Amino acid sequence: MDPEVKLNHIAGNFLKLRGNTLITPISKGLINDTYLIQNEHIKTKYVLQKINQNVFREPEKVMKNLVRIVDHLAKKPDPRYKLLKLEKTIVSGTYYLDEQQDYWRVFRYLDHTDTIDKVTDPIQAREAARAYGNFIKRLNRLNPGEVFETIKNFHNYRDRIVKLEKAAAENSSQRKKNCLNELDFIGNRIKYIEEYYSLPLPKRIIHSDTKIDNILFDDQLEKAVCVIDLDIAMPGSLLYDYGDMVRSFTNRVKEDEGDMSKIGINQEVFYNLTQGFIEETAILMKNAETNNLLLGAKIVILIQAIRNLTDYLFGDVYYKINYETHNLVRARNQITLLSCIEKDEKIYENIINSIVEKNT
Ligand SMILES: Nc1ncnc2c1ncn2[C@@H]1O[C@H](COP(=O)(O)OP(=O)(O)OP(=O)(O)O)[C@@H](O)[C@H]1O
Ligand SMILES: [Mg+2]
């Protein structure tokens, strides 16, 4: 079937389409295939998305989680944020399964919004962190046992170490020789992961992918309007969502910058994101959480370095590369970022503590 005809047919399973329909790719996401649907007779625009089954082996679980989460959020809306709305199919299903066994779903398009790839203003960090904190807070009453793990072992950090050890043990090539220092650095920080598992951390439903581009901002890129991309929202610790913001918002350069001397933490961004997150979550955080936020950042950065290095040793099967040492450079980048945090640990702890004090 002609791709355009096919997309129209799929959209027609969700919406009563008459006249002209324009379906155009939104190429911002990396995982799923996303399209914008516009019809001449319908005022609202829609987002059509095909679930990537290479990443999500159990799409039914992804959809069940999504419905549970959006329904729960809709029960108690927060006037500051818009709700993500899922459209039912004409036969009242939540997804459409095509002949190729692909899963499709449709969201209401939130107009007058935009996303950003990199934090350019500390206020954006505060806004995004507040929205992610609000997401955790509003899901607090939804039982984490009712939400599936949509990627197996995603939050099993010991398993990440096992995979790296396996990759290193099976590899005797030049690649392993190239990363002996990095393996050593990581080996000396397994203690963070052990410390994490020794804490009495509550299981919560967390977003698990708190990058800046999973926030829809208003047209002016000032206010966070909606948290999107809920496919790996699953049970985990709030430290992870906080840590992934520190990891992805504060780095002065891109995650694959090869000049390690350029890597550094933007402290103003750190301050603002911590402020936004704690403002929303202070009310529910336990001591084990408030006292260990920085450990969350260290863990998430360490895990990212482990994932990049594992992929480098396994021959670049997961992350796309543009040159041979791309994954090694990414791992070094994260290692350098972690060293920056360690070097000024006291400063970051003080920032966190002062904000916690003000909010409790
Ligand atoms: N409800 C919506 N309203 C407006 N735009 C949206 C909506 N949902 C998604 N988008 C747009 O589509 C893009 C991709 O969506 P999404 O983040 O869900 O895809 P993804 O492939 O899972 O992304 P990632 O690479 O982060 O995993 C977003 O960056 C945003 O620009
Ligand atoms: Mg996304």
Would you state the pLDDT for residue 27? 84
**CATH topology (fold) of 3-111:** Phosphorylase Kinase; domain 1 (3.30.200)
> Measured between alpha carbons, how far is 348 from 353 in angstroms, rounded to an integer?
9
Would you state the pLDDT for residue 318? 87
Is the CB of residue 210 below 6 angstroms from any atom belonging to ligand 1? Answer: no
Report the nearest atom of ligand 1 relative to the CA of 52. 21
Would you state the pLDDT for residue 19? 94
> Measured between alpha carbons, how far is 319 from 268 in angstroms, rounded to an integer?
30
Would you state the pLDDT for residue 166? 96
Would you state the pLDDT for residue 28? 77
> Measured between alpha carbons, how far is 336 from 334 in angstroms, rounded to an integer?
5
Share of the chain above pLDDT 90, in %: 95
> Measured between alpha carbons, how far is 203 from 181 in angstroms, rounded to an integer?
34
What average pLDDT does the segment 209-222 reach? 96
Confidence of residue 342 (pLDDT cuts 50, 70, 90): very high
Ligand 2 mean position to 30 CA, how many Å? 7
* Same CATH fold assignment for domains 3-111 and 122-359: no
- Ligand 1: which of 27, 36, 45, 47 to mutate, judged by most atoms within 8 Å of the beta carbon? 47
Report the nearest atom of ligand 1 relative to the CA of 33. 21
> Measured between alpha carbons, how far is 176 from 92 in angstroms, rounded to an integer?
53
- Ligand 1: which of 24, 34, 112, 232 to mutate, judged by most atoms within 8 Å of the beta carbon? 34
CATH for 122-359? Answer: 3.90.1200.10
Residue 172 predicted with pLDDT over 80: no
Confidence of residue 192 (pLDDT cuts 50, 70, 90): very high
- Residue with CA closest to ligand 1 atom 14: 29
Nearest ligand to residue 32 Cα: 1
Would you state the pLDDT for residue 30? 78
- Ligand 1: which of 216, 227, 318 to mutate, judged by most atoms within 8 Å of the beta carbon? 216
Ligand 1 mean position to 31 CA, how many Å? 9
Each residue's pLDDT tens digit, 98-135: 999 999 999 999 999 999 999 999 999 999 999 999 99
Would you state the pLDDT for residue 338? 98
Is the CB of residue 26 below 6 angstroms from any atom belonging to ligand 1? Answer: yes
> Measured between alpha carbons, how far is 286 from 354 in angstroms, rounded to an integer?
17
Is the CB of residue 86 below 6 angstroms from any atom belonging to ligand 1? Answer: no
Is the CB of residue 31 below 6 angstroms from any atom belonging to ligand 1? Answer: yes
Is the CB of residue 69 below 6 angstroms from any atom belonging to ligand 1? Answer: no
Of 1-5, 52-56, 263-267, 299-303, minimum mean pLDDT range: 1-5
Contact 271, 349 (CB under 8 A): no
CA contacts within 13 A on the Cβ side of 3: 4
> Measured between alpha carbons, how far is 209 from 213 in angstroms, rounded to an integer?
10
Alpha-carbon distances, residue 316 vs 32, 176, 178, 326 (angstroms): 20, 13, 15, 9
Residue 199 predicted with pLDDT over 90: yes
Residue 312 predicted with pLDDT over 90: yes
State whether the Cα torsion 209-211-216-222 is positive or negative: positive
Q: CB burial class (10 A; 0-12, 13-18, 19+) of residue 117?
A: exposed
What average pLDDT does the segment 141-157 reach? 96
Report the nearest atom of ligand 1 relative to the CA of 31. 21
Share of the chain above pLDDT 70, in %: 100
In the chain, where do the E strands start and end? 21-25, 33-39, 46-50, 86-87, 96-97, 103-108, 113-114, 204-206, 215-218, 224-227, 234-236
Q: CB burial class (10 A; 0-12, 13-18, 19+) of residue 281?
A: buried
What average pLDDT does the segment 64-80 reach? 97
Ligand 2 mean position to 14 CA, how many Å? 22
Give the chain's mean pLDDT. Answer: 96
Would you state the pLDDT for residue 1? 82
Pull the structure tokens for residue 178: 């190239």
The domain segmentation of the chain, as residue ranges, is 3-111, 122-359
- For residue 265, the 8-state DSSP code is B
Name which of 279, 222, 272, 220 is nearest 249 in CA terms.
Answer: 272
Nearest ligand to residue 31 Cα: 1
> Measured between alpha carbons, how far is 285 from 282 in angstroms, rounded to an integer?
5
Ligand 2 mean position to 283 CA, how many Å? 28
Would you state the pLDDT for residue 320? 87
- Which amino acid is located at 101 in the chain? Q
Residue 203 predicted with pLDDT over 90: yes
Report the nearest atom of ligand 1 relative to the CA of 85. 1
Is the CB of residue 70 below 6 angstroms from any atom belonging to ligand 1? Answer: no
Is the CB of residue 55 below 6 angstroms from any atom belonging to ligand 1? Answer: no
> Measured between alpha carbons, how far is 228 from 31 in angstroms, rounded to an integer?
13
Of 28-32, 43-47, 227-231, 328-332, minimum mean pLDDT range: 28-32
Q: CB burial class (10 A; 0-12, 13-18, 19+) of residue 85?
A: middle
Each residue's pLDDT tens digit, 243-295: 999 999 999 999 999 999 999 999 999 999 999 999 999 999 999 999 999 99
Ligand 1 mean position to 29 CA, how many Å? 6
For the chain, how far is it from start to end, CA to CA, in angstroms?
A: 60
Would you state the pLDDT for residue 173? 87
Contact 253, 262 (CB under 8 A): yes
Residues with CB under 5 A from ligand 2 (ion): 29, 214, 229
